[in-house]
């Protein structure tokens, strides 16, 4: 058995940010309405931003500006609240101030009265080459000592390629989440969405801007060196903090709050379940959620369009460490207790364990196993639909060779997803006892096409093909990941 088990956090921290025991890693939410809501001049409650004090200007130096962004409103230019896009980091100065702001299908680097660099979106980040709601994008703008500048989105250089940029950005960037004007009056360019892990480096290009692909951080970027001038992470209690100690961060306008959802972990509601530092990995990469195996111990998140798989490909994968003796132990459940859209149960069968999938009123038994290979072992499970066939993989090995034909239209997007319990009406016997972590739900991508190497590190939203070696593992794009829980 590998990994660390049954070590409980004192006080059982809530699940937040990258992992429960590092709960200061939350993302910043810049207040806004849902897509389609009509915004009007004077909508101060929809506008928010932060101010930065003492941030050094770039001038003619090499630099790198890096952050994650997720849009909650796709209004970029309506001449009411937005004129030229939604800004992320900017200087209000008309002369020599740098500003980064997003329009519907690109990111602009503006030097006000001097020049613009316009970068389009790579299809690897968004097939439509437009920003999408609810998708995390990693953006890295790099200029080197040869004045070559380029932008990478989710690790891919934009189709716009490179530019020669010898502008002197002499004005201090002083704003996050807005550009120039006061919020709520006329055109403002405020961000409506989430920002995470903003890093601003002067005097150094973090990667070669000529590269076609650069690595996307698989953990939060917390490295500070002499070139790091700003590193923003969001601690608890809304105390916005620059980790370098060089800058002062404060509220400029509106209400900037926090969300526990980040590029590395989506929020989940715990009901009698607790965060633990137990892990399938030996180096404390993540925590897990502990369940007591009774109806009062479970976790939930609300259904979304990301759970509407239709008849297409998908993958639901997770790690579990089972300790209960319930005869209908249920790892997760989506839909009503009586007739779920999907549900995964491990049920007693004459002293053995039937691994059962409940799917739209039907029951499919993938495999029958002895209890000694199921209980008190960290196990990676992956439920996959690929080209009209369902497969279950246990630790990378297929449990139902040849697959099971299935073209069910799984179009539920409103039910609650339950973890550790068979829906709202479950009995104690239908609950899971033990630990679950690294739950990832991927839509439109089966992820696995055959036997694969079991993951040996946290699952992520952006993943290269065969990340853990071996074969038969697809690349994953952030827009394909409907949900990711890495406590």
Domain presence at residue 220: yes
Q: Are residues 428 and 467 in the same domain?
A: yes
Tell me, what's the pLDDT at 241?
Answer: 83
Domain presence at residue 321: yes
Domain presence at residue 289: yes
Domain count, the chain: 2
Task: Give dist(CA 204, CA 202) in Å, integer.
Answer: 6
Single residue among 215, 239, 259 that ends a domain in this structure: 259
Single residue among 259, 287, 321 that ends a domain in this structure: 259
Q: Are residues 104 and 64 in the same domain?
A: yes
Q: Are residues 220 and 330 in the same domain?
A: no
Q: Are residues 327 and 422 in the same domain?
A: yes
Tell me, what's the pLDDT at 282?
Answer: 75
Q: Which long-range contacts (CB under 8 A, 24 or more apart) does 386-393 make?
A: 386/313, 386/446, 386/448, 386/449, 387/313, 387/446, 388/311, 390/357, 390/359, 390/364, 391/448, 392/355, 392/357, 392/366, 392/367, 393/448, 393/451, 393/452
188-220: b or e for each residue (b if 16 or more CB lie within 10 Å)?
A: bbbbbbbbbbbbbbbbbbbbebeeeebebbbeb
Q: Are residues 287 and 219 in the same domain?
A: no
What is this structure's pTM?
Answer: 0.91
Tell me, what's the pLDDT at 435?
Answer: 96
Q: Are residues 70 and 172 in the same domain?
A: yes
Single residue among 209, 234, 259 that ends a domain in this structure: 259
Is 4 exposed, middle or buried (CB count within 10 Å of its CB: 0-12, 13-18, 19+)? middle
Tell me, what's the pLDDT at 338?
Answer: 87
Domain presence at residue 29: yes
Domain presence at residue 1: no
Domain presence at residue 243: yes
Are 221 and 205 in contact, with CB atoms under 8 Å apart?
Answer: no
Q: Are residues 345 and 420 in the same domain?
A: yes
Domain presence at residue 114: yes
> Tens-digit pLDDT profile for the chain (487 aa)?
344 333 333 333 333 333 444 444 688 888 754 444 555 655 655 678 888 999 989 999 999 999 999 998 887 876 555 666 888 998 877 677 888 989 999 999 987 667 789 999 999 999 999 999 999 999 999 999 999 999 999 999 999 999 999 999 988 888 998 876 544 344 467 888 999 999 999 999 999 999 999 999 998 888 899 999 999 876 554 568 898 999 999 888 777 888 888 999 998 999 999 988 888 987 666 789 999 999 999 999 999 999 999 999 999 999 999 999 999 999 999 998 888 999 999 999 888 999 999 999 899 999 999 988 889 999 999 999 999 999 999 999 999 999 999 999 999 999 999 999 999 999 999 999 999 999 999 999 999 999 999 999 999 999 999 999 999 999 999 999 999 999 8
Q: Are residues 235 and 317 in the same domain?
A: no
Residue ranges making up the domain that contains 459: 269-485
Q: Are residues 302 and 252 in the same domain?
A: no
CATH number at residue 448: 2.60.120.200
Tell me, what's the pLDDT at 52?
Answer: 92
Q: Are residues 375 and 410 in the same domain?
A: yes
Tell me, what's the pLDDT at 318?
Answer: 98
Instruction: Enter the tokens of residue 340.
Output: 């779920």
Q: What is the sign of the dihedral through the CA atoms of 43, 47, 53 and 55?
A: negative
Q: Are residues 462 and 351 in the same domain?
A: yes
Q: Are residues 209 and 326 in the same domain?
A: no
Domain presence at residue 435: yes
């Amino acid at each position: 058995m590998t990994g660390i088990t049954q070590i409980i956090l004192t006080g059982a921290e809530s699940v937040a940010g990258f992992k429960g025991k590092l709960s200061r890693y939350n993302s910043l939410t810049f207040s806004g309405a849902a897509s389609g809501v009509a915004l009007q001049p004077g909508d101060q409650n929809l506008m928010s931003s932060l101010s930065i004090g003492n941030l050094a200007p770039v001038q003619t130096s090499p630099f790198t500006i890096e952050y994650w962004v997720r849009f909650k409103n796709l209004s970029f230019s309506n001449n009411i609240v937005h004129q030229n896009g939604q800004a992320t980091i900017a200087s209000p100065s008309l002369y020599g101030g740098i500003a980064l702001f997003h329009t519907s299908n690109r990111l602009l680097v503006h030097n006000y009265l001097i020049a613009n660099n316009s970068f389009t979106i790579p299809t690897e980040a968004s097939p439509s080459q437009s920003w999408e709601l609810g998708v995390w994008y990693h953006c890295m703008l790099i200029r080197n000592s040869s004045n070559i500048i380029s932008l990478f989105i989710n690790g891919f250089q934009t189709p716009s390629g490179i530019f020669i940029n010898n502008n002197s950005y002499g004005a201090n960037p002083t704003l996050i989440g807005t550009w120039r004007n006061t919020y709520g009056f006329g055109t403002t360019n405020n961000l409506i969405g989430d920002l995470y892990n903003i890093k601003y480096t002067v005097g150094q290009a973090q990667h070669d801007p000529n590269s076609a692909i650069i690595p996307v951080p698989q953990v939060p970027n917390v490295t500070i060196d002499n070139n790091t001038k700003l590193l923003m992470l969001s601690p608890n209690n809304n105390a916005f903090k620059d980790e370098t100690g060089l800058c002062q961060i404060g509220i400029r306008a509106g209400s900037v709050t926090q969300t526990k959802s980040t590029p590395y972990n989506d929020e989940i509601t715990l009901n009698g379940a607790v965060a633990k530092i137990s892990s399938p990995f030996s180096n404390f990469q993540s925590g897990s959620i502990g369940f007591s195996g009774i109806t009062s111990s479970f976790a939930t998140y609300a259904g979304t369009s990301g759970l509407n798989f239709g008849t297409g490909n998908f993958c639901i994968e997770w790690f579990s460490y089972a300790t209960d003796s319930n005869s209908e132990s249920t790892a997760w459940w989506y839909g009503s207790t009586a007739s779920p859209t999907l549900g995964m149960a491990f049920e007693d069968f004459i002293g053995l364990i039937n691994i059962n999938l409940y799917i739209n009123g039907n029951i499919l038994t993938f495999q029958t196993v002895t209890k000694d290979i199921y209980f008190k072992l960290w196990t990676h499970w992956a439920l996959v639909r690929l080209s009209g066939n369902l497969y279950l993989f246990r630790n990378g090995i297929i449990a139902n060779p040849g697959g099971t034909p299935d073209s069910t239209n799984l179009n539920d997007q409103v039910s609650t997803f339950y973890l550790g319990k068979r829906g709202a009406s479950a009995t104690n016997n239908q609950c899971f006892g033990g630990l679950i972590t690294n739950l990832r739900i991927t839509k439109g991508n089966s992820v696995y096409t055959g036997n694969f190497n079991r993951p040996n590190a946290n699952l992520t939203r952006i993943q290269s093909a065969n990340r853990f070696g071996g074969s038969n593992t697809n690349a994953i794009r952030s827009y394909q990941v409907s949900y990711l829980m890495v406590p």
